[in-house]
């Protein structure tokens, strides 16, 4: 490990599948140590994880960082959004956490929307229209289907809150992650008592929302954690808000993230309220807003199609007239939680590579359809689309995004942007800087820019036509309850 020019900080990304930890030089942004440990997620219609395994993975990832982790002056946790963590009076999980991509609460989402003011009410009050991804619907599902678990719950947390609380002993969250629950009012930036009363959730069970730049606490002495007692703990935030910090985003810079889920987002100075529910009006981790659209099916769905075809994920072939909607886990954009995948236009001369390309096209189409709704007047129409996440390194993903967007595409060389954003937040505690400014100083967006190509309007129109024509079938989907 080379000598650091400044204090060391730790940034963590506790994602759906694994935990990554980076030890970063706060002065230069140099990653001096890193660690990685996987999680276990249940399969089928249930998407659940034992929160204690997240803690075990965090400890393992930090142990892999060696002495550098122990030397860190501050730490921050970025975590998967929306997951419902229910704790008993000893701080132990009542049941496995319901993850963001568990869609069993779709009926509760519909009822909450209908019974409490409609979509416009929810969008204006919380920035969100209830969908199966959001925490408020998961709590409603739990209260209805597992009332004993709901009664045993003495604290409700999000995934990043759970890890931060185990670090500090204090129940805290931040505005970025709180804004994805459905029970945080974006206008007043406080928990919404009317919504909490409707779902019978005592606000005393929720964590305190700490302000941007505020210290959430310090690391307690623990034998199983390779961080020094007294290390400063930043508020942390949700994964998308952390990635926005990691990119040092200025308002209007568009981002497409290709991971387990796919997202498009941009920082905005204006509080979003989209009654269609396509755009979630999240807060960012700094004091601005992060309008975002998300698809459930992205890299995992395309990889699954490649596996079914016996192909490498890059083995795409051009010239397809096939449409494949890869809604393998239901879908959020469009909001079809019980949908399954759909293949249209198959012919004798269709090749396996063309089918695979159709899966890429279907996934990217869903994201691009929401991009214009995400961007507002702050957006620069000529700015490159920042492409991040695991899929951003794949040539097939890059070329599909270029062809269907018609925009230049920039691929930051920096890896693990969620963990880097958390590290920038931790560094901001030490220096008093805006974390996004820290990331810009670290030059995290540096990377190649792929020139724009002519947009494939024919493919976009074909896919949109299939989505529209198949809407009744997709709505029926498969019963996953």
Give the annotated binding-site residues: 81-82
* CB count in 10 Å sphere of residue 452: 15
Supply the DSSP string of 181-239, one letter for each residue.
SSSEETTTTEE-HHHHHHTT--GGGSPEEEPTT---EEPPP-TT--S-TT-EE---EEH
2: exposed, middle or buried (Cβ count in 10 Å: 0-12, 13-18, 19+):
exposed
The string over 259-295, giving b where at least 16 C-beta atoms fall within 10 Å of a residue's C-beta and e elsewhere, is bbbbbbbbbbeeebbbeebbbbbbbbbbebbbbbbbb
Q: From the candidates 239, 274, 329, 434, give the one annotated as an active-site residue.
A: 239
Which residues carry a binding-site annotation for substrate?
81-82
Supply the DSSP string of 247-279, one letter for each residue.
TTPPTT--EEEESSSEEEE--BSS----TTSSS
Residue with tokens 């920042």: 386
The string over 198-221, giving b where at least 16 C-beta atoms fall within 10 Å of a residue's C-beta and e elsewhere, is bbebeeebbbebbebbeebbbbbe
Contacts of 272 (CB under 8 A, 6+ apart): 127, 279, 280, 281, 282, 289, 291
Supply the DSSP string of 318-371, one letter for each residue.
S----EEE--BTBBTTTTBTT---EEE---TT--HHHHHHHHHHHHHHHHHHHH
Verify whether residue 239 is a known catalytic residue. yes
The string over 98-129, giving b where at least 16 C-beta atoms fall within 10 Å of a residue's C-beta and e elsewhere, is bbbbbbbbbbbbbebbeebbebeebbbbbbbb
Distance CA 258, CA 264 (A): 9
Distance CA 415, CA 38 (A): 17
Determine how β-strand 217-218 pairs with β-strand 48-49: unpaired
- The residue length of the chain stands at 481
Distance CA 239, CA 52 (A): 19
Supply the DSSP string of 72-92, one letter for each residue.
-SEEEEEE-SS-BEEE-TTS-
Catalytic annotation, residues: 239
């Amino acid at each position: 490990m080379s000598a650091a020019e400044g204090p060391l900080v730790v940034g963590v990304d506790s994602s759906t599948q694994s935990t990554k930890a980076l030890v970063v030089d706060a002065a230069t942004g140099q990653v001096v140590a890193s660690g990685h440990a996987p999680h276990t997620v249940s399969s089928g219609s249930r998407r659940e994880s034992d929160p204690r395994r997240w803690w075990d993975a965090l400890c393992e990832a930090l142990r892999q960082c060696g002495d550098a982790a122990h030397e860190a002056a501050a730490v921050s946790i970025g975590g998967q959004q929306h997951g419902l963590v229910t704790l008993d009076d000893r701080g132990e999980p009542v049941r496995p956490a319901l993850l963001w991509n568990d869609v069993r609460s779709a009926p509760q989402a519909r009822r909450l929307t209908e019974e409490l003011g409609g979509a416009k009410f929810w969008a204006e009050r919380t920035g969100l229209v209830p969908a199966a991804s959001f925490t408020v619907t998961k709590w409603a599902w739990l209260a209805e289907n597992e009332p004993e678990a709901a009664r045993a719950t003495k604290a409700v947390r999000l995934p990043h809150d759970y890890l931060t609380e185990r670090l500090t002993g204090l129940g805290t969250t931040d505005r970025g992650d709180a804004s994805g629950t459905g029970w945080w009012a974006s206008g007043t930036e406080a928990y919404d008592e009317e919504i909490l009363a409707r779902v019978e959730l005592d606000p005393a069970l929720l964590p305190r929302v700490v302000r941007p730049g505020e210290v959430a606490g310090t690391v307690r002495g623990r034998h199983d954690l390779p961080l020094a007692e007294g290390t400063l703990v930043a508020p942390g935030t949700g994964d998308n808000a952390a990635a926005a910090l990691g990119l040092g985003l200025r308002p209007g810079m568009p981002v497409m993230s290709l991971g387990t889920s796919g997202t498009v987002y941009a920082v905005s100075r204006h509080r979003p309220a989209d009654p269609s529910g396509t755009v979630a009006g999240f807060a960012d981790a700094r004091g601005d807003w992060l309008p975002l659209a998300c698809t459930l099916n992205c890299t995992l769905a395309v990889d699954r199609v490649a596996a079914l075809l016996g192909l490498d994920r890059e083995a795409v072939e051009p010239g397809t007239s096939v449409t494949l909607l890869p809604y393998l886990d239901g879908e959020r954009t469009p909001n079809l939680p019980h949908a399954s995948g759909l293949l249209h236009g198959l012919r004798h001369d269709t090749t396996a590579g063309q089918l695979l390309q159709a899966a890429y096209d279907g996934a990217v189409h869903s994201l691009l359809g929401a991009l214009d709704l995400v961007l507002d007047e702050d957006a620069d129409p000529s700015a490159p689309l920042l492409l991040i996440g695991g899929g951003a390194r794949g040539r097939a993903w890059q070329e599909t995004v270029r062809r269907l967007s018609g925009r230049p595409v920039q691929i930051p060389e920096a890896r693990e942007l969620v963990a880097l954003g958390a590290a920038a937040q931790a560094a901001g505690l030490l220096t008093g800087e805006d974390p996004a400014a820290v990331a810009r100083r670290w030059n995290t967006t540096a990377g190649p820019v792929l020139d724009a190509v002519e947009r494939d309007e024919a493919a976009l129109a074909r896919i949109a036509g299939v989505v529209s024509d198949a809407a009744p079938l997709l709505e029926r989907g498969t019963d996953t309850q």
